[in-house]
Amino acid sequence: MAEHVIEIKHLKKSFGENPVLKDIDFSISKGETVSVIGSSGSGKSTMLRCINLLETPTGGEILFHGKNIQTELEVSKYRAKVVMVFQSFNLFNNLNVLQNCVIGQTTVLGRGKEEARKKAMEYLEKVGMTPYINAKPRQLSGGQKQRVAIARALAMDPEVILFDEPTSALDPEMVGEVLSVMKRLSESGMTMIVVTHEMAFARDVSDRVIFMNDGYICEQGAPEEVFGAPKREETKNFLSRFLNQ
């Protein structure tokens, strides 16, 4: 068994009286791509946000290479290693494409301007956005924004990338360009947790699929198991509802 990069133990999160994550347990190994599926409101985003510490867990613990991310690690250093890509892109509106990919490197990692620029260009090239380095986010299409957001994340040289429905805000014709970037990333050995409604991506690209339901992990396994022979009633219901849409 490969080394666990992230281990989640009995993670709980409530908003006030409302328990959203009830008892989440799972680990991800280096190089693994895990897809998280489940109906809306089941707590998928909350789980990713807890892993990125955008939300503070109310119970349990999250370990990064065996260290508790809340008590044993410095938040900013940890986040630079476990970055997040959002459904709504969240590019910096005041900066152009290149600067978007440089600012995190210079402020968080303390890289020099030139080195950061080179790194940024390298990853912008990978996502096919070099022609647009001078554009501001508002001048880009959704698919282009998301590719820049991925380059921004990659420029931090992270160990893990968390994707929260990266294609859900995109027009259908732009979904492909983003998924193909993610597929290449997965193949290159990046460790990824991907919350998605793209079942084809979950089935074909991921090493493991997690089905979340009502704040719990209801079922998990290899894609062919979860999609081909789901064991739980909830999973069957979800998949049949989803695939019949």
Partner 1 sequence: MSLFEDISKVWSKYGDTILSGIANTVIISIIGTLIGLLIGLINGIIRTVPKPKNPVAKVVLTVVNWVINVYVEVFRGTPMMVQAMIIYWGYAYMNAGSTLPLIPAGIVIVSINTGAYITEIVRGGIISIDRGQFEGSASIGMSHFQTMIHIIIPQVMRNILPSVSNEFVVNIKDTSVLNVIGVTELYFYAASAAKNSYKIFASYLIACAIYFCLTFTITRILRLAERLIEGKENYTVFGSQSDFPAEIHVSKEESANG
Q: Which residues of this chain interact with Mg ion, rule CB under 5 A?
A: 45
Query: Quick one: 52 or 206, whose CB is closer to partner 1?
Result: 52
Residue 174 in contact with residue 142, Cβ under 8 Å?
yes
- Compute the C-alpha angle 152/42/8, nearest 5°: 65
Q: Note whether 35 binds ligand ADP by CB under 6 A.
A: no
Between 43 and 158, CB nearer to ligand ADP? 43
Q: Is 91 in the site for partner 1 (CB under 8 A)?
A: yes
Q: Binders of ligand ADP among 41-70, rule CB under 6 A?
A: 41-46
Query: Does 103 sit near partner 1 (CB under 8 A)?
Result: yes
DSSP label at residue 227: I
Residue type at position 35: S
Select the binding partner of residue 42 from Mg ion, ligand ADP, partner 1, none (C-beta < 5 to 8 A, by kind).
ligand ADP
Let me know: does 230 contact 219? Beta carbons within 8 Å: yes
Q: At a CB cut-off of 8 Å and minimum separation 6, what does 99 contact?
A: 92
Nearer to ligand ADP, 11 or 73 (CB): 11
Query: Residue 33 in contact with residue 206, Cβ under 8 Å?
Result: yes
Binding mask 4-23 for ligand ADP (x = CB under 6 A): -----------x--x-x---
| Dihedral sign from CA coordinates of 65, 36, 159, 56 | negative
Q: Give the C-alpha separation, 67 to 74, whole Å.
A: 11
Residues 167-186, interacting with partner 1 (CB under 8 A):
none
Helix 97-108 and helix 142-154, axial crossing angle in degrees, nearest 10: 20
Residues 152-191 contacting ligand ADP, CB under 6 A = none
d(CA 51, CA 217): 15
> Amino acid identity, residue 199?
M
Nearest residue (CB) to ligand ADP, 22 versus 126: 22
- Look at the block and give the residue holding tokens 């080195």: 115
Q: Which of 17-25, 37-45, 96-104, 217-225 is the region at the interface with partner 1 (rule: CB under 8 A)?
A: 96-104
Do 166 and 182 contact (CB within 8 A), yes or no? yes
Q: Which of residues 186-215 bind partner 1 (CB under 8 A)?
A: none
Q: Which CB atom, from 119 or from 152, has the smaller least distance to partner 1?
A: 152
The smaller minimum CB distance to Mg ion, of residues 116 and 198, is found at 198
Q: Which residues of the chain form contacts with partner 1 (CB under 8 A)?
A: 52, 54, 75-80, 83-84, 86, 88-96, 103-104, 107-108, 130-136, 139, 149, 152-153, 156
Q: Which residues of the chain form contacts with ligand ADP (CB under 6 A)?
A: 15, 18, 20, 38, 40-46
